[in-house]
Structures are given as structure tokens and as C-alpha cells.
Structure 1
Amino acid sequence: MTDDLHYRVLKHLEAHPDGTQRDLAKALGISLGSTNFCVRALIDHGWVKVQNFRRSDNKLAYAYLLTPQGIEAKARITARFLQRKCAEYEALKAEIAQLDAEVRSQSKP
């Protein structure tokens, strides 16, 4: 799993601990099988724990809770994610400036 996917999964589970894997798959735009693989990997890392509970309609449901290690991992991943996005932003800004300069130089008579 990539840092981006780790970040997105942890962020979603933190915000929606009682959501289903189907909800998570839809929110992330990945298959249900991939979602299951990701959630299991996070559980194996000790970053997420699963808690069973019963809803009023007697269907078995789960809550996905970030562990203290999961919260720390999310903070580290978030910092790396932010650093990478800032670098991408700076590179994009430079590319836009270069393209703008090219357009301006080509449009002068």
C-alpha cells in the first residue's frame, strides 16, 4: 500500500469508524477486495482495531478504530503527504510560470 492510500484509509476510518468497507471502497474509488486487503493490513500493523457491535436491526456490524499507534502513524504519513504535495505544488507553480512566459513571448508581434 502506498502512503497516499494509507493516508486516505486512515483519514476515512478516523472520520467514519462505523462505516462499512463498502462505504470506504466507494469513498476511495477502489474495489471492495482492495479495501478489505488495505483494512486487514492496517489491522495487522496494529494501527486499526475492529470492534463488533449489533445494530438495532440485529445485523452484525463493526467499528474500525484507530489505535494509538495508528494515530501516530497517521500523523507521520500526513506530514510526508503534506511535504510531497507541497513539492508537487512548487513544481507545478514553476511549470505554470514557464508556460506563461512561453505564451507571452509567442503572442508578442
Structure 2
Amino acid sequence: MPTSTETLEENEFLLIQEISRKPTRTQRDLSESLGLSLGMTNLLIRRLARKGLIKITQLDWKRTQYLLTLKGAVEKTRKAYFYTRYTVRIFRQIQENITTALTQEYRQGRREFVLVAQDEILELLRDTVSDLPLPNAAFTFVPRFQEIPPGVDLALCATLEAPPKTANGRRYLSLVDFEDIDFRLS
């Protein structure tokens, strides 16, 4: 779970990205597009200006322009690089978790697998299982826990959705839990 400092840094990075896309957006527009309160957006803008990452120019009494400085552009590039590197590491770790979990279950005799996932993670799961040498293995992909077919005793999960409170004899195995990856935007 990210610390409050990491969350602020991530929000600063997202704000820098938004400012670089359209410098004349209002604070309200920025806060809405980032899903932050207006007060938090104002705090972050002031912080970025204090760090020398953006320049604030009053165009008229109603409009303000936020420009990325050279230092801000360098910082945006640096943070984008680290974020990309982190994302690749996460995907590799998830692929490794998928491979390990499925291979272990396969060796124990399981041939039918139900995987709960959505969006890009679903694509990653499909790509990973298609490359696994597991003859006669069958994979069912569902987007939500409530769509798991009856009688399934193991569900492999890669989703933000919390598993049902009662397992009814069903095991839920997370494919995305790991602790060895540490991410910081700094």
C-alpha cells in the first residue's frame, strides 16, 4: 500500500502530465480529471511551483496558465521512465506468479482452471496461459467472482474486487500478491 508521500508524488506526476497536455486548464478542470479535491490540486500546484517544476502565469483575472519548466519536463520524463520500468517489473512478476500457480496446480492433477480478471490483466492472463506447456488444461476466464461456475473449488484471481466473504469450500488464490517490488517515483 503506498504511503501518503508516495501518493503525493504520484499525484504530482499525474498533475505534471495534465499540465503538459493543456497548460490553460483551470484548477477545477485539473482536479476533476485527476479525481482530486480542488484544495489538494491547489496544494500540488503550489508545491510544483515551489519546486520549480511549473511556472504560474496569470493571463487575465479569470485565466491562469501553468507551464512546465525545463526542470519540470526533465522530472516528468524521469518519473515516466521509472513508472514504465516499474510497470514492466509488475507485469513480469504477475506472469511469474501465474506460471508458478498454474504449474503447481497442474502438477497436482488439476486440469480445469477458472481465472477472475478484467481489462489489461485479463489480456496478460490470456497471453501467459497460452504460452504455458500444460497439455489438456482448460481455462475459463470470468470478469467477476459471482460469475464463477458452480462446483469450482479453486479460483485464481487478478482483480481489485474482493472475494466473497464466504468461500463455501472454494479457495481463492491471488495472482498479483507480491512484496518484493518496491516502487517510488523519486
TM-score by length of 1: 0.83
Structure 1: stretches of 5+ with no match in the other structure: none
In structure 1, the residue matched to 2:72 is: 70
Displacement of 1:77: 1.1
Higher relative contact order (CA 8 A, sep 6+): 1
Q: Check conservation: 1:4, 1:81, Cα contact below 8 A.
A: no
TM-score by length of 2: 0.51
Structure in which a larger fraction of residues adopt helix? 1
- For 2:92, the aligned partner's letter is E
Write the distance in 2 (CA, Å) between the matches of 1:16 and 1:68.
16
Displacement of 1:96: 2.2
In structure 1, the residue matched to 2:55 is: 49
Deviation track 1:6-57 (CA, whole Å, cap 9, x = no partner) reads 2211110000101111111111111111111111100000100111113xxx
Give the RMSD, CA atoms, in angstroms: 1.8
- Identify the range of structure 1 (63-72 vs 21-30) with the bigger mean alpha-carbon deviation: 21-30
- Identify the range of structure 1 (10-19 vs 30-39) with the bigger mean alpha-carbon deviation: 30-39
Q: In the comparison of the two structures, how many residue pairs are matched?
A: 104
- For 1:106, the aligned partner's letter is R
Larger Rg: 2
Write the distance in 2 (CA, Å) between the matches of 1:106 and 1:98.
14
Q: Check conservation: 1:48, 1:67, Cα contact below 8 A.
A: yes
Structure 2: stretches of 5+ with no match in the other structure: 113-186
Report the CA distance shift for 1:103/1:25 in structure 2 as closer, same or farther (over 3 A).
farther
Is 1:107 the counterpart of 2:87? The answer is no
| Percent of aligned pairs sharing the same letter | 24
